[in-house]
Structure 1
Amino acid sequence: MTTDDDRGTVAEIMKETRIAVLTYVSIEGSLVSTPMGMQDFEDPATTWFITERSSDKVRAIEADPRVNVSYSSKAGWVSLSGTAHVSDDRAKLQELWDASAGAFMSGGPEDPDNVLLRIEGDTAEYWENPGKVAAAVQMAKGLVTDSELDLGDNDTVQL
């Protein structure tokens, strides 16, 4: 059962992540992972990235929109599974455009090749980081006693 606390944990991890990793199915059927600069999300169920329409990534996603986005921060890790949609929403693109987008993208938000990927999440699996000291203690305990490590809480959230 998903709680507001679970969604809050997922949101915290996602907000603290600067670079997420988008995994999609290529036209040839292979899994491809690529780093994507974090832009914004309304809540964990809807995230946004800026990309180029002319990219292989967009062609592949238009053919098979199933994606996974992984997030990693000091707070933990999230694996978000969902569906990607290519969006030409110029107002949203203008809202999300920042210096980092300008550094990686040619043109600006008015360039027709610059588009948005809206990820509609279905589920998010998360692992909450227990902190550096707790992780070090667990690692040492596992090495000495051959016991199973406790590296934090893990759960799946329906979005």
Structure 2
Amino acid sequence: MPQHKEQKSDLSREEAIDRIWQLAEDIDMCMFVTWDGEYTRARPLSARVHRNENAIFFLVNAESAKNGQLERFPKVTMAWSNNSSYKYVTISGHAKVTNDRSKIEQLWEKTDEAWWDSAQDPEIRLITVAPDESELWDSPGKMVAVAKMVMSAITGAKPDVGDNAKVEL
């Protein structure tokens, strides 16, 4: 596994990891990016973030192009974005598609009824991602970030608009 230089941040490695997991859980919807052998493909999915299992889960349809892509190319990237507060997280890892009915039942939420009748729907599959690296961009908020960028434009100094950290998970 390649070693990545951790970025300059006021956060310790442990604080960055905590913040990454928390933001991914809080933001929920992510862009789930796969590779099809020619292009990257991204689609929005609701993430079930379970740090205690070191896993991120997704409920998906059995007949989906992404499932075939994951069989051939299991490395994925997930990107969470909270534009209103300038908070962003990416997590990369290895994904696997299964038909784990017990886990699907455990992860089932009322909102899933928009896509399937129940957790017993035979068309549901489970994608499990084991994360291995992540990056965080965490601003103190839009107003502070904008003010710092304006001051930077006036003074010519580079703005410090929050924490950026790249860590292995």
Q: TM-score, normalised by structure 1?
A: 0.88
Superposition RMSD in Å: 2.0
**Distance change >3 Å, CA 8–CA 129, structure 1 → 2:** same
* Alignment pair present for 1:17 and 2:18: no
Distance 1:3 1:127, change over 3 A: same
Partners of 2:25 and 2:48 within 8 A in 1: no
- Percent of aligned positions that are identical: 24
- Structure 1: tracts of 5 or more residues without a match: none
Q: Which residue of 2 aligns with 1:85?
A: 96
Structure 1's 3 and 143: CA in aligned 2 closer, same or farther, altered over 3 A? closer
CA-to-aligned-CA distance 1:67-125 (integer Å, 9 cap, x gap): 0001123472111011111121111111111122111x233221222011101111011
User: Do 1:77 and 1:126's aligned partners in 2 also have CA atoms closer than 8 Å?
Assistant: yes
User: 8 Å contact 1:13–1:75 — kept in the other structure?
Assistant: no
Q: Alignment length, in residue pairs?
A: 157
CA contact (8 A) 2:28 2:47 kept: yes
Tell me the distance in 2 between the aligned counterparts of 1:21 and 1:7: 20
Q: TM-score, normalised by structure 2?
A: 0.83
- Quote the Cα distance in structure 2 between the aligned partners of 1:124 and 1:44: 16
Instruction: Return the alpha-carbon distance in structure 1 between the equivalents of residues 75 and 98 of structure 2.
Output: 16
Work out the CA distance in 1 between the residues paired with 2:103 and 2:78.
20
Match of 1:132 in 2: 142
SS at 1:70 equivalent:
strand
Structure 1: which 4+ aligned runs deviate by more than 4 Å? Answer: none
